[in-house]
């Protein structure tokens, strides 16, 4: 069974920083595209950043403030969030396209989410 587990969320003041982690575990053959999404109260889930073969892409709202990275050896993805704003407050979800051992094709997986609150 493949699992994605996020960590690193919390409460931070405006202008502060947090680093989120997402670790994929289980019987994994390969992890392809990984991504961070977020969902604020009363809003739809939105894409924050993706990383494929080392190439990152960002939503306009986080460009220049957030950095996505991954350690392929550990099947782990990170999101370094700097200059945080109250509007960044949301539950952040990890998403990954994972080819599990024994499966014929990769499938999309989600983590359980981690809360990020930016408030003074």
Q: Which uninterrupted H or E stretch holds 116?
A: strand 114-118
Across residues 97-101, what is the average pLDDT?
95
Beta-bridged to residue 65, according to DSSP, are none
The first and second tokens of residue 1, run together, are: 């069974």
- CA distance to 11, 31, 38, 83, per residue, from 66 (Å): 17, 22, 13, 8
How does residue 53 score in pLDDT terms, banded at 50, 70 and 90?
confident
Q: In this predicted model, what pLDDT tens digit does every residue of 1-38 receive, in sequence order? A: 899 999 999 999 999 999 999 999 999 999 999 999 99
Q: What are the percentages of helix, strand and coil residues in the chain, rounded to 5?
A: 5, 60, 35
What is the spatial distance between Cα 100 and Cα 78, in angstroms, rounded to a whole number?
21
What is the spatial distance between Cα 56 and Cα 88, in angstroms, rounded to a whole number?
19
């Amino acid at each position: 069974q493949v699992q994605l587990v996020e960590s690193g969320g919390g409460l931070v003041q405006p202008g502060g920083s947090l680093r989120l982690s997402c670790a994929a575990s289980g019987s994994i053959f390969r992890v392809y595209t990984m991504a961070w999404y977020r969902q604020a109260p009363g809003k739809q889930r939105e894409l924050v950043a993706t990383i494929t073969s080392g190439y990152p892409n960002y939503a306009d709202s986080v460009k220049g403030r957030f950095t996505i990275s991954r350690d392929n050896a550990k099947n782990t993805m990170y999101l370094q969030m700097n200059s945080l704003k109250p509007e960044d407050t949301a539950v952040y979800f990890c998403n990954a396209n994972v080819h599990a051992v024994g499966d014929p094709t990769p499938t999309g997986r989600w983590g359980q989410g981690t809360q990020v609150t930016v408030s003074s």
